[in-house]
Structure 1
Amino acid sequence: MQPESGFSTRAVHTGSEADPVTGAVITPVYATSTFKQDGVGGLRNGYEYSRSANPTRTAWEECLAALENGRHGFAFASGLAAEDTLIRALLKPGDHVVIPNDAYGGTFRLFDKVAARWGVEYTAVPIDDPGALLAACTSATKLVWIETPTNPLLTIADITEITTALADHDLHVAVDNTFATPYLQQPLDLGADIVVHSTTKYVNGHSDTVGGAIAVNDDDLAERIRFHQNSMGAVMGPFDAWLTHRGAKTLSVRMERHCDTAERIAAYLSSHPKVAQVYYPGLESHPSHAVAAKQMSRFGGMVSFRHKDGEEASVEMCNRAKLFTLAESLGGVESLIEHPARMTHASAEGSELEVPSDLVRLSVGIEDAEDLLADLEQALD
């Protein structure tokens, strides 16, 4: 695939070259744990054991890297497995990390409850305030962790401004690109060193597999990640890799539909008497709307809002939804609704990352917009 090929062309074709023996246009599921060697140490195309490499996973990793305009892609068993592998590859006891003060609850738990016990410290800052971020960096800071948009408050970080300001620091900048996806935003092109995904979400897009991913450009960094991926072993299995690769082929068309409907829903909620505040970077009222418009091609399919009548009203509204399924996760073709304080972000309760108790998060699917709006109207009223 030519590097100048368009996004959708790369999504469909990278890693999906026709099989030279059978002509199969889709990479098979190589459901094997080991590979026959041609003599001791005589590997066939580098394959010996599926934890180290598997052709189905390789095909997906090639596609992933191409979508992020990266040179190297790595597929993991989950988004948190990707994050944990990255922490082990880059950090040691005594190192320091800067994270968003409204990071995903699972990411916060990983740094606060797992990495902290290993001797890695962190500071949480408003990720849309580059000055606060720079002030939090010390000589021990080795990783700046960015989510943009953040989960669940959809805060926007200016990737270019942050990476430019940190260019002379001895650290890596990693961007969790799960909400935006590589279709809407490509952090490596904006100066980031590392891109991380929960591919469970939009990249796969069908709520039928769990996975994670890392993409980088630097060859030395890639070797460190590859070593730890193999050593720690939290790799994506071949069938999950096949499903994720298949899902990614339609990412562009799905994201257009997600964005179209999310924009309508955000506008509707903004004028609803029961809604106190809407978080959506596509709204001009969003404090970082201009930054989002600069670095994203569109504004995504996630919408959060606060219920004017408080926590119990927001919980009741989630329970009344019919077409919006009450469930955790996001990014699938079906629309989901959840109460972050009691669900996805319960691990942050009592911490500086605690989310508002009246917050509702929507993952807007690809159903007919009119039906989704009608469901929200009955759930709110």
Structure 2
Amino acid sequence: MELNTRAVHVINEPFTEGSWPLSVPLVQSSAFAFESADELAGAMAGPDGRYVYGRRGNPTVRALERTLAGLEGGAGAIAFASGMGAISGVLLALLRPGDRVVAQRCLYGGTHAVLADLAERYGVEVVRISGDDPAELAAAAVHPATRVLVLETIANPTGQVPDLPGLLAAARALGVTSLVDNSLASPVLCRPLELGADIVVHSTTKYLSGHSDVLGGAAVFADDELRLRVWPRTVELGACADPFAAWLTLRGIPTLPLRMREHCANAAALAELLAGHPAVTAVHHPWRPDHPSYAMARKVLAGGGGLLSFELAGGREAGRAFIERVRVARLALSLGGVETLVTHPASTSHRELDEGELAAAGIGAGLVRMSVGIEDAGDLWADVEQALA
């Protein structure tokens, strides 16, 4: 079945009577009762048996995990309390002191912070690469303790699209586990497991749920053996998904393909108009021919995504002034919801980076990030124009 169909028909479990609820039931229970001690002990063996305790599994959460595995083409999934919970949980499960991680230079600020913390507290070496050349990975992974490659399908906030086919093939050849954050693309625009990734992570807070009312995350695995290796560590970490958040995400997924079409169309239209405005010195959106990742984006993505960023001629002060002048768009940190949001990465999402690290990641002092919603494109442009005036 095509993804549009799979998104509507989320994976559900039948009632004991045999009928199927059209909407996934919300099961809030934190614990589940058994008739015998042997049954309870047997249910503790792994993630796929009978439900025991909410941290180890829940019917609503499992429905989300199976649905996400189906959308991404994975063998299985683990749902988390947040996107950062997913990234942290997977990395902590796969890494030991002295291991090496190879990471794309331009990553979400929270991922930068986790990698820096692993380096400082646990002696994990982090080597940065541009993400554009598989030869960089081969050089960085020559160290025998290289364990994980970390990439983003669409980098936040510059829109860089790394050479996923080349890097993932190189990682597999080198025996390095690859982790790709697909939050900004969603399975509608890209399915990294089909390109050779081992693990795909999501902030389900973003496009998957899509309504700014969920905090959640997930990791989807190409190989079930890897999922079973990671799962015990995530249970110990305790960053388990909340059933209500999982239920809200499942409610949002059926409209994901429709929403992504509007996000992409509006973002592309605004990017074109911004490029012609005298107050704007640069526009970053991977569907623009002048973007450095344009050729790769056209190769691996089904659309340019709903996130764009642009540089203002007035630098940091101009950026801060713009985000305070918008009226239709809202000043908020998140992205991927139906409403348009703006923020200033240098002082918010990437505040952990110093000036040199910001420059290396391609984030200027006057850069504004815009998560473009599904409002009328004309209304959005009118709002942007008045804020730039």
Q: Would you call these one fold, judging by a TM-score over 0.5?
A: yes
Give secondary structure in 1 for the equivalent of 2:345: coil
> Under a length normalisation based on structure 1, what TM-score does the superposition of the two structures give?
0.96
Q: Structure 1 residue aligned with 2:268, among 263, 275, 278?
A: 263
Q: Which amino acid aligns with 1:209?
A: V
Aligned-pair CA distance for 1:18 = 5.3
**In the alignment, which residue of structure 2 is the partner of 1:102?**
106
Q: What are the superposed Cα offsets for residues 151-195 of structure 1, whole Å, 9 maximum, x if unpaired?
A: 111111111111222332121011100111111000000011110
**In the alignment, which residue of structure 1 is the partner of 2:379?**
371
User: Which aligned segments of 4 or more residues in structure 1 are displaced greater than 4 angstroms?
Assistant: none
Give secondary structure in 2 for the equivalent of 1:168: helix
Aligned-pair CA distance for 1:228 = 1.5
1:13 to 2:9 alignment: yes
**In the alignment, which residue of structure 2 is the partner of 1:79?**
83
Q: Structure 2 residue aligned with 1:227, among 232, 249, 270?
A: 232
**In the alignment, which residue of structure 2 is the partner of 1:38?**
35
Q: Structure 2 residue aligned with 1:176, among 178, 181, 190?
A: 181
Q: Distance in 2 between matches of 1:71 and 1:23?
A: 24
* Mean CA deviation greater in 217-226 or 332-341: 217-226
* Mean CA deviation greater in 221-230 or 8-17: 8-17
Aligned-pair CA distance for 1:290 = 1.1
Q: What are the superposed Cα offsets for residues 309-355 of structure 1, whole Å, 9 maximum, x if unpaired?
A: 21111110111011110010100000000000011111113452453
**In the alignment, which residue of structure 1 is the partner of 2:130?**
126
Q: Which amino acid aligns with 2:305?
A: G
Q: Structure 2 residue aligned with 1:362, among 334, 346, 370?
A: 370
Structure 1 stretches of 5 or more lacking a match? none
Give secondary structure in 1 for the equivalent of 2:62: helix
Contact persistence 1:18–1:27 (CA under 8 A): no
Q: Distance in 2 between matches of 1:38 and 1:189?
A: 43
Q: Structure 2 residue aligned with 1:27, among 24, 27, 38?
A: 24
Structure 2 stretches of 5 or more lacking a match? 44-48
Aligned-pair CA distance for 1:376 = 0.4
Give secondary structure in 2 for the equivalent of 1:153: coil
Q: Distance in 2 between matches of 1:350 and 1:113?
A: 19
**In the alignment, which residue of structure 2 is the partner of 1:192?**
197
Q: What are the superposed Cα offsets for residues 274-323 of structure 1, whole Å, 9 maximum, x if unpaired?
A: 11011000001111211111111111000101001211111101110111
**In the alignment, which residue of structure 2 is the partner of 1:163?**
168
* Mean CA deviation greater in 345-354 or 178-187: 345-354
Q: What are the superposed Cα offsets for residues 243-295 of structure 1, whole Å, 9 maximum, x if unpaired?
A: 11111121100000101111100100111111101100000111121111111
Q: Which amino acid aligns with 2:373?
A: G
1:201 to 2:206 alignment: yes
1:217 to 2:222 alignment: yes
Q: Structure 1 residue aligned with 2:139, among 135, 138, 147?
A: 135
Contact persistence 1:307–1:313 (CA under 8 A): yes
Q: Which amino acid aligns with 2:164?
A: I
Aligned-pair CA distance for 1:62 = 0.4
Percent identity between matched residues is: 43
Q: Which amino acid aligns with 1:142?
A: R
Tell me the C-alpha RMSD between the 2 structures. 1.5
1:280 to 2:285 alignment: yes
Q: Which amino acid aligns with 1:6?
A: E
Q: Which amino acid aligns with 1:245?
A: L
Aligned-pair CA distance for 1:220 = 1.4
Give secondary structure in 2 for the equivalent of 1:149: coil
| Higher helix fraction (1 or 2) | 2
Contact persistence 2:335–2:371 (CA under 8 A): yes
Q: Which amino acid aligns with 1:170?
A: G
Q: Distance in 2 between matches of 1:333 and 1:47?
A: 34
> Under a length normalisation based on structure 2, what TM-score does the superposition of the two structures give?
0.94
